């Protein structure tokens, strides 16, 4: 969930297609009363062949509503959807890199730190810093937070700003296919 600049809360949820039970679509709900009630707003992403789930929603400084989505049956491609009308109509596309699920946080300078699990060897946690409007996702530099994961059973990162130049990323992790645990890394942002 993400709280927008007018106090509305955006929530991206997945829905299973009864006709194709392996294919999920994602949808946007908005609460205008701090989560007491929710209003269905729109479909974020739907496809006959790509399954979308585990969506992080973000509102840019200019007011675009962005959804970062995990996919299945799409070569683990990270996908982004954008709405320029407050969440009524979205268009989606692949971001040009593998990673899932994705989470983000706005940095003090309005850039966006996007974090995600990387479930291909070397397994680990990766990140990118996007511009404030999240338009440079195809060209932003990917950096490795960790590459010592034991298997693809990792990810679910969550970044939190600690100070003007430090971010804590917590995530689900394993080493050498051992006991799963929650770990964290502190990044210094430049």
Residue 153's SS3 state is coil
Q: What does the pLDDT read at residue 184?
A: 98
Task: Read off the tokens for 52.
Answer: 């979308």
Phi, psi at residue 94, to the nearest 5°?
-75, 150
* The predicted structure's pLDDT at residue 19: 83
80 and 31 together in one domain: yes
Run means of pLDDT, 10 residues per run, the chain, 190 residues: 95 91 95 97 96 97 97 95 97 96 97 97 98 97 97 97 97 96 96
Other beta carbons less than 10 A from residue 153's beta carbon: 14
- Tell me the pTM: 0.95
**Residues 130, 185 share a domain:** yes
Domain count within the chain: 2
Domain containing residue 141: 99-190
Please check whether residues 87 and 110 belong to one and the same domain.
no
Are residues 91 and 140 located together in one domain of the fold?
no
């Amino acid at each position: 969930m993400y709280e927008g600049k007018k106090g509305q809360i955006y929530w991206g949820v997945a829905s299973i297609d009864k006709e194709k039970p392996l294919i999920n679509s994602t949808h946007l709900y908005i609460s205008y009363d701090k989560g007491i009630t929710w209003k269905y707003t729109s479909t974020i992403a739907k496809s006959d062949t790509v399954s979308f789930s585990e969506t992080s929603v973000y509102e840019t400084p200019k007011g675009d509503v962005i959804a970062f989505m995990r996919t299945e049956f799409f070569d683990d491609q990270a996908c982004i959807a954008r709405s320029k009308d407050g969440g009524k109509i979205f268009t989606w596309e692949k971001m040009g890199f593998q990673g899932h699920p994705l989470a983000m946080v706005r940095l003090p300078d309005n850039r966006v730190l996007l974090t995600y699990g990387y479930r291909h060897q070397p397994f680990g946690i990766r990140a990118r810093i996007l511009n404030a409007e999240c338009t440079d996702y195809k060209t932003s530099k990917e950096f490795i937070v960790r590459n010592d994961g034991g298997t693809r059973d990792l990810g679910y990162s969550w970044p939190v700003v600690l100070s003007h130049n430090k971010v804590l990323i917590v995530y689900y992790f394993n080493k050498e296919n051992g006991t799963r645990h929650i770990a964290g890394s502190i990044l210094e942002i430049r």
